[in-house]
Structure 1
Amino acid sequence: MNKILIALATTLFLTGCSKDETPSEVVLPEVTFDEPTNGFTIDKMQWFHLQPKLKNPDNVTYTWLLNGKIIATTLDLMYVFAQAGTYKIDFRVKNNSGEIFKKITVNVNEKTYLNGVKNVFEFFPAPGQFTNALPEATVKDTDETMRKKAETTLTTGSLVSLGGFGGYIVMGFDHTIINKEGNDFIVLGNAFSNWAEPGIIMVSSDVNNNGKADDEWYEIAGSEHNKPTTIKNYELTYYQPKSEPENPSEPNYIRWTDNQGQTGYISKNAYHSNPFYPTWKGTSITLKGTFLKANLFDKSGTGTYWVNPAYDWGYADNWSNTDEKAQIDINWSVDKKGNPVKLQGINFIKVYNSNRAEGGWLGEVSTEVSGFKDLNL
C-alpha cells in the first residue's frame, strides 16, 4: 500500500512539473498583403503606404530593407522614393518560433512637380499694418474667402503678410519634400539687409494619407530655439478696437494681453489707412507659439533709422531668398518636448510670426511669405 501511494505521489509530482515547465507553443507569424502581379506602382516623391495583415502578432519584430539598408521597423511601411526606377524591398518578420521573408517589387514612375505652393489650408494673420491689405479684405470676407485669396496670392507670385506675433499660414505642395543630405527647402519672404521679420517654421508629414494638414506638427528649431530669452508656449490675445481712431498715428490702437502678465498696444501707422485688425475675425483673437526676442533697435538714436538684424539660421523671412542662410534642413525638426525627430519627408508647412516688436515709423515686425522652393527639385 505504501509503495502504491509513493508511486502515485511521484507520478503526480512529475506531471505537475511537466505542466509548469513546458513552454507554451510559439506559432510562426503569418503575413499577407495584396500585391499586384507586376508589383506596386507609385510616382516618385509620393508616399508609398503598405499595411500588411498579420496573424499571431505576439513578440514579433519587423524589418524592411531596401538595398540592404533598414528603412522601417514597424508592421506598416511608409516610404518615399526620390528617383524613378524598379525597387526590390525585403520584409522580415520574426518571433521566437522563427523568421519569415517576403520580397515585394515597387515600380516608381517619373513625375514633374511644381516647385512652389499648391494649396493654402489656413490663413490667419494677426493685427498689423498690412493686415486686410496683403491680401485685401473687406467686412464681407470669411475664413474661407481669405484662405482662397491667400492661396491665389501665393500661387501667382505675390506675397501675404502674417501681421504681428502669432499670425500664421499653412501651405501644402503637390509632392513630398524629401529629407536628403543637407538643406532641403526655403520659405520665400522679403527680408533684406538689416531688416528681418523672422517667422517660425513648422513641418508635418501626411502620415494618415488623407491630403490634409491634420497630422502632428514639428518645429524647425532655429538658432534662437534654446536661448534664455525664448518663451515656449507663449499666448497673445488681441482685442478689436470699437472704432478706427481719428489720429492716424494713434499709439493706443489695438490692445493686447499675454500669458506672461503683460499688456500693451499696437500703434496705428500713419502710412497705412486700412484697419489693422483682421475684419473677418471676432472681437478678440488668441494666437500661440514660441516667442523670440527681436533684435530690433534704433540705430540712429533719434527714431529715424530702425534695424532688425537677422537671426543666425532656421527661420522664414529672415535672410534674403538668395542667401544660403535662408535654407532649411528638415533634420532641424523637434517635437513638442524639444526632442529631435527624423522625418523622411514633409508635405505641409506652417509659418507664424515669432516677434512682438515695433520699429517706430516702420511699424510692427510682420513676417511676409511670398512662396516656397524645394531645393531637391
Structure 2
Amino acid sequence: MKRHLQWPALALMLGAAACSKNDDKDMKVAPVITVNSSVAVNTAQWLRIAPTVEHAGGAAYVWLSGEDTISLEKDLLHVFAAPGEANLRLIVKTSGGEAVKDVKVTVNAKAYTNGVVRVFDFVPAPGQFTNKLPAWQAGETQAGMTAKAEEALKKGAAVSLGGFGGYVVMGFDHTIVNVPGQYNFQVLGNAFANWAEPGIIQVSADVNGNGLPDDPWYEIAGSEHSHPKTVHNYEITYYKPAADKVPTPNKLYPYLTDTTYIRWTDNKGGSGYVSKNSFHAQDYFPGWKGDKLILSGTRLRDDNIYDQSGTGSYFVSPALEWGYADNWTNADERSGIKISWAVDGDGKPVKLKGIDFIRVHTGMRAEGGWLGEVSTEVGGVRDLNLR
C-alpha cells in the first residue's frame, strides 16, 4: 500500500521564540546531507544508516523505499527478508529548504541457523522437572545452568520453565523479520491433545546494536490478553521448603506425596502450594536460587483446566486460541506467532520490523492432579521465514 508523505506544520516545530541565534541561522539555510550513496547488507540483518545533516534545526525526516515510508527518524534502522536491490531516499525538510539523498542498497542472501544460538538467562520456577530439564548438580551457579539451557536448546532438547513465572531468554544469529500477514516464528514445545501448558511470549529488537537483550520488551498479545480473568503485572514469591519438612500426602490420590510442598504467595493476596508427586523425587525448588524466588509477568486464567474423568485419572488443559508457546502441537499451524501481535506495557500495538530476542515464561499457576503443575516446556524456536 502506498503511503503519501505528509510534512508536519513547520510553524509548530520551529518555535521562533525558543530558537538560538544559530538555530535562526540554520532556518534560513537549506539542509545538507552527507551519506554513502551505496551500501550492502545481508538478509535478516539490521541495516543501520546514520547520515550527517547540517543546518538541521527543526528538521523533519522521511526515509522512503519506493513510495513507502519506512522511517521518520534521522538514523535508519531497517531489515530485509529477501535478497535483491533496494533504492532508498532520505528527505530532510526545514524552513530553510529541502534536501534529498538517494541510497542504493544491495541485499545479499545469507544462510542462518534456524534455531536458538544463545540463551541469555534461564530461571525456572519450582516444578516437577526443575533441576532435571536441565539437570542441576550441587554447587552449579546461575551461569552454569544458563549454559546448560543453551546447550539443550541448541540440540533441540526441551527445558522446563517450571510453574508460573519461570522463564528463558533466547537469541539467534539473525533477525526474525516481520513479514506482514504471515506467521513469523514458532516457539517449540511439547503440547499434546487436551494438554496445553501455555507460555507468555515477549519479543525485543536489538535497537542499540550491542547484541544484548537490554532494549524494550513487548508482549505478544495472544487470545487471552484482554480476558477479564487475565492478570497483568502479577508477581509470585516461592519459598524453599525446609529439608526436614514433613510431607502432607493426599489420602485419596497416593501419587500426590506432598500437597503442601512449596509455599507461594502473590501480590494479589493469594497463597497456596506447589504439590509434589510420586513420579519425580528430586527437589522441585531450583537448587541455585537460594531460599526465596520472586517471579512476575502476565498470568493467564486457569479455569478451563479440569478433571474430565471425575476420578482424578484424566485431567485436561485445552489449548488457548492463539498466541502462546507450548499451547498447540508443533505440527499445528496455530502454534505460529505473528510479530504484529506485539503490544507495549499499555496494551497498545507496536510496529516492529523484526526481533532479535524472545523471552518465554510459564503463564499459569495451576495443577492437573497426577500430571503435576502446569509448566511450559520450550524446545527451541523456528523462524518461519526461513522455511
Using structure 2 for the length normalisation, give the TM-score: 0.88
Answer whether contact 1:115 1:372 (CA < 8 A) is retained. Answer: yes
Moved more, 74-83 or 238-247: 238-247
How much has 1:70 moved relative to structure 2?
Answer: 1.2
Q: 1:269 aligns to what?
A: 277
Matching residue of 2:114:
115
1:75-122, Cα deviation, whole Å (9 max, x unpaired): 010000112223221111011221111111222211001111111111
**Compared with structure 1, are the counterparts of its residues 255 and 371 closer, same or farther at alpha carbon in structure 2 (3 Å cutoff)?**
same
- Whether 1:340 aligns to 2:360 is no
Q: How many residues align?
A: 352
Choose which of 249, 271, 275 in structure 1 pairs with 2:257.
249
SS at match of 2:276: coil
Contact 1:62 1:91 in 2 (8 A): yes
Say whether 1:69 aligns with 2:68. Answer: yes
Question: Offset at 1:245?
Answer: 4.7
In the TM superposition, 1:138-157 aligns within 5 A as 138-157=137-156
Alignment of 1:180-191 (within 5 A): 180=179, 181-191=181-191
Aligned to 1:364: 373
- Paired with 1:279 and 1:90, the residues of 2 have a C-alpha distance of 55
The answer for the alignment partner of 1:163 in structure 2 is 162
Q: Does 1:282 align with 2:290?
A: yes
Match of 2:34 among 24, 32, 35: 32
In the TM superposition, what whole-angstrom CA distance separates every residue of 1:307-356 from its partner, at most 9, and x where no partner exists?
A: 11111110000000011111111110000110001111111000000000
The 2-side partners of 1:84 and 1:182 are apart by 18
Residue 127 of structure 2: aligned partner = 128
> Which of 300, 307, 315 is the aligned partner of 1:292?
300
Unaligned stretches of 5+ in structure 1? 1-22
Question: In structure 2, what is the equivalent of residue 207 of structure 1?
Answer: 207
For 1:311, the equivalent position in structure 2 comes to 320
Q: Which whole-Å CA distance do the structure 2 matches of 1:232 and 1:201 have between them?
A: 13
Structure 1, 106-115 or 277-286: larger mean CA deviation: 106-115
Farther off after superposition, 51-60 or 268-277: 51-60
Q: Is the 8 A contact 1:190 1:320 kept in 2?
A: yes
Q: Give 1:42 deviation, angstroms.
A: 1.5
Residues 244 and 275 in structure 1, CA contact (< 8 A), matched pair in contact too: no
Give the TM-score of the pair, scaled to structure 1. Answer: 0.91
Q: CA deviation at 1:268?
A: 1.1
Could you tell me how far 1:280 is from its partner in structure 2?
Answer: 0.4
- Percent identity between the aligned chains? 53
What is the letter of the counterpart of residue 197 of structure 1? Answer: E
Amino acid at match of 1:233: N
Q: Residues 82-93 of structure 1 correspond to what in structure 2 (within 5 A)?
A: 82-93=81-92
One-letter identity of the residue aligned with 1:178: V
Deviation string 1:145-193 (CA, Å, 9 cap, x unpaired) is 0011000001112100000000000001111111112211110000000
CA–CA distance in structure 2, aligned partners of residues 228 and 77 of structure 1: 39
Residues 1:227 and 2:227 are matched in the alignment: yes
Q: In structure 1, how many angstroms separate the alpha carbons of the residues matched to 2:347 and 2:68?
A: 28
Partner in structure 2 of residue 173 of structure 1? 172
Aligned residue for 1:6? none
SS across alignment from 1:154: helix
Matched residue type, 2:114: N
Q: Distance in 2 between matches of 1:340 and 1:67?
A: 25
Give the whole-Å Cα distance in 1 for the aligned partners of 2:381 and 2:194: 22
Question: How far apart are the structure 2 equivalents of 1:361 and 1:191?
Answer: 17
Whether 1:54 aligns to 2:53 is yes
Check conservation: 1:191, 1:318, Cα contact below 8 A.
yes
How many angstroms apart in 1 are the aligned matches of 2:56 and 2:152?
51
Please tell me the residue identity of whatever aligns with 1:227: H
User: 2:71 & 2:185 partners in 1: Cα distance?
Assistant: 25
Change over 3 Å in CA distance of 1:304–1:245 after alignment to 2 = farther
What is the CA-CA distance between 1:32 and the residue it aligns to?
A: 2.0
Distance in structure 1 (CA, Å) of the matches to 2:357 and 2:28: 44
Q: 1:244/1:186 Cα in 2 relative to 1: closer, same or farther (>3 Å)? A: farther
Q: Please state whether the residue corresponding to 2:293 is helix, strand or coil.
A: strand
Alignment partner, residue 195 of structure 2? 195
